[in-house]
Structure 1
Amino acid sequence: MTERSGQAGDATGGPAPTTPVCYRHPDRETYVRCTRCDRPICPECMRDASVGHQCPECVSEGRRSVRPARTAFGGGAAGRQGYVTKTLIALNVLVMILSIASARSGSAVAGGGLGGLMGGGTPLTNWGAVLALWPPPIPTEGVATGEWYRLVTAMFLHYGVVHLLLNMWALWVLGRTLEAALGPLRFLALYLIAGLGGNVAVYLFSSPYSASVGASTAIFGLFAAIFVIMRRLGRDTSAIVPILVINLIFTFTVPGISVAGHLGGLVVGALMALVLAYAPRMRRTAFQAAGGAILLVALLGLVLVRTAALTG
Structure 2
Amino acid sequence: MTQPSGDPAATGVPTCYRHPDRETWIRCQRCDRPICPDCMRDAAVGFHCPQCVQEANRSSRQNRAVYGGERSADPRLTSYVLIAINALVWLGVLATGWKNSDLIARLALVPKGTCESLSSDGYYPTALGERLCTLGTQGDGHWVPGVADGAVWQLITSQFLHVEVWHIAGNMLALWMLGPQLENVLGRTRFLALYLLSGLAGSVAVLWLSGAGQLTLGASGAIYGLFGAYAVIAHKVRADLRSIATLVAVNLFITFAVPNISWQGHLGGIAGGALVAAVLAYAPRARRTQVQALGLGGFLLVLVALVALRVAALS
CA RMSD of aligned residues (A): 3.2
One-letter amino acid of the structure 2 residue matched with residue 219 of structure 1: I
Are positions 1:122 and 2:112 aligned together? no
Does the C-alpha gap of structure 1 residues 30 and 178 become closer, same or farther in structure 2, counting only changes over 3 Å?
same
Q: Which residue number in structure 1 is paired with residue 199 of structure 2?
A: 195
Structure 2 stretches lacking a partner, 5+ long: 10-15, 116-128, 132-142
The aligned runs of 1:80-95 (5 Å cut-off) are 81-95=75-89
CA distance in 2, matches of 1:160, 1:69: 41
Q: In structure 2, the residue corresponding to 1:277 is in which secondary structure?
A: helix
Q: Which residue number in structure 2 is paired with residue 131 of structure 1?
A: 110
CA distance in 1, matches of 2:22, 2:206: 73
Are positions 1:210 and 2:214 aligned together? yes
The aligned runs of 1:175-186 (5 Å cut-off) are 175-186=179-190
Does the C-alpha gap of structure 1 residues 123 and 37 become closer, same or farther in structure 2, counting only changes over 3 Å?
farther
Q: Which of 3, 13, 16 is matched with 2:3 structurally?
A: 13
Worse-superposed segment, 72-81 or 217-226: 72-81
Q: Which residue number in structure 1 is paired with residue 167 of structure 2?
A: 163
Identity over aligned pairs, percent: 40
Structure 1 stretches lacking a partner, 5+ long: 1-10, 109-119
Q: In structure 2, the residue corresponding to 1:148 is in which secondary structure?
A: coil
CA distance in 1, matches of 2:256, 2:178: 22
One-letter amino acid of the structure 1 residue matched with residue 70 of structure 2: G
CA distance in 2, matches of 1:154, 1:300: 16
Q: Which residue number in structure 2 is paired with residue 250 of structure 1?
A: 254
Do 2:161 and 2:217's aligned partners in 1 also have CA atoms closer than 8 Å? yes
Structure with greater Cα Rg: 1
CA distance in 2, matches of 1:92, 1:268: 21
Q: Which residue number in structure 1 is paired with residue 67 of structure 2?
A: 73
Q: In structure 2, the residue corresponding to 1:77 is in which secondary structure?
A: coil
CA distance in 2, matches of 1:174, 1:292: 21
One-letter amino acid of the structure 2 residue matched with residue 211 of structure 1: L
Q: Which residue number in structure 1 is paired with residue 273 of structure 2?
A: 269
How does the TM-score come out when normalised to structure 2?
0.76
One-letter amino acid of the structure 1 residue matched with residue 3 of structure 2: G
Q: In structure 2, the residue corresponding to 1:81 is in which secondary structure?
A: coil
CA distance in 2, matches of 1:228, 1:15: 69
Q: In structure 2, the residue corresponding to 1:269 is in which secondary structure?
A: helix
How does the TM-score come out when normalised to structure 1?
0.77
Q: Which of 290, 298, 306 is matched with 1:302 structurally?
A: 306
Cα deviation, residue 38, structure 1? 6.1
Q: How many residues align?
A: 281
Cα deviation, residue 54, structure 1? 5.3
Cα deviation, residue 303, structure 1? 0.8
